Structure 1
Amino acid sequence: MATLIPFASLPAAPWKNGGGSTTQIASWPPGAGLDDFIWRISVATIAVDGPFSRFAGVERSLLLLAGESVQLLIDGTRTARLDAAAPLLCFDGEAAVTAQVSGATTDLNVMTRRASCRHQLTRITAPQQLVRASAVTLLFAAGGALTASDGRRQFALQRHDSLLLDAGDADTWQLDAAAATSLVPVDLFVKER
Structure 2
Amino acid sequence: MRILRAADYKVMPWKNGGGTTTEIAVSPDGAGLDDFDWRISMAKVETSGPFSSFAGIDRTLSVLEGEGIVLDIAGQPPAPLTTASPPLAFPGDVPTGAALIGGPITDLNVMTRRGRVAHKVERRALSGEIRIVPRADTTLILAVDAGFTLITDDAPDLAPLDTLILDRDSPELRLQPKGQGLLFVIELHRLAANH
Does the 8 A contact of 1:44 with 1:108 survive in 2?
A: yes
Instruction: Give the letter aligned to residue 155 of structure 2.
Output: Q
Cα separation, 2, equivalents of 1:116 and 1:16: 22
Instruction: Give the letter aligned to residue 176 of structure 2.
Output: D
Shift of 1:152: 4.1
Shift of 1:167: 3.1
Which residue is 2:74 aligned to? Answer: 75
Instruction: Give the letter aligned to residue 163 of structure 1.
Output: L
Q: CA 1:77–1:123 in structure 2 vs 1: closer, same or farther (change >3 Å)?
A: closer
Q: CA 1:56–1:16 in structure 2 vs 1: closer, same or farther (change >3 Å)?
A: closer
Shift of 1:75: 1.8
Residue deviations 1:162-193, cap 9 Å, x none? Answer: 011123422x1001023333211101001133
Report 1:1-193 matches (<5 A).
2-75=1-74, 78-101=77-100, 102-124=102-124, 125-126=126-127, 127-149=129-151, 151-170=152-171, 172-193=172-193
* Residue aligned with 1:98, SS: strand
Cα separation, 2, equivalents of 1:85 and 1:174: 24
Unaligned stretches of 5+ in structure 1?
A: none
User: What TM-score does the superposition give when structure 2 sets the normalisation length?
Assistant: 0.89
* Residue aligned with 1:95, SS: coil
Shift of 1:64: 0.5
Cα separation, 1, equivalents of 2:121 and 2:154: 24
Cα separation, 1, equivalents of 2:165 and 2:29: 13
Residue deviations 1:1-39, cap 9 Å, x none? Answer: x11111122232232544321001001111211111111
Identity %: 38
Cα separation, 1, equivalents of 2:154 and 2:59: 32
- Once the two structures are overlaid, the 10-residue window that deviates more, 27-36 or 7-16, is 7-16
Does the 8 A contact of 2:60 with 2:87 survive in 1?
A: yes
Shift of 1:86: 2.1
Cα separation, 2, equivalents of 1:143 and 1:92: 28
Q: CA 1:103–1:161 in structure 2 vs 1: closer, same or farther (change >3 Å)?
A: same
Does the 8 A contact of 1:4 with 1:155 survive in 2?
A: no
Instruction: Give the letter aligned to residue 50 of structure 1.
Output: G
Instruction: Give the letter aligned to residue 166 of structure 2.
Output: L
Does the 8 A contact of 1:143 with 1:183 survive in 2?
A: no
* Residue aligned with 2:39, SS: strand
**Root-mean-square deviation over aligned CA pairs:** 1.7
Cα separation, 2, equivalents of 1:169 and 1:87: 26
Instruction: Give the letter aligned to residue 47 of structure 1.
Output: E
State the number of aligned residues.
190
Q: CA 1:154–1:190 in structure 2 vs 1: closer, same or farther (change >3 Å)?
A: farther
Cα separation, 2, equivalents of 1:82 and 1:37: 26
User: What TM-score does the superposition give when structure 1 sets the normalisation length?
Assistant: 0.90
Residue deviations 1:43-97, cap 9 Å, x none? Answer: 1111111111111111100000000011111126531111144252110011111
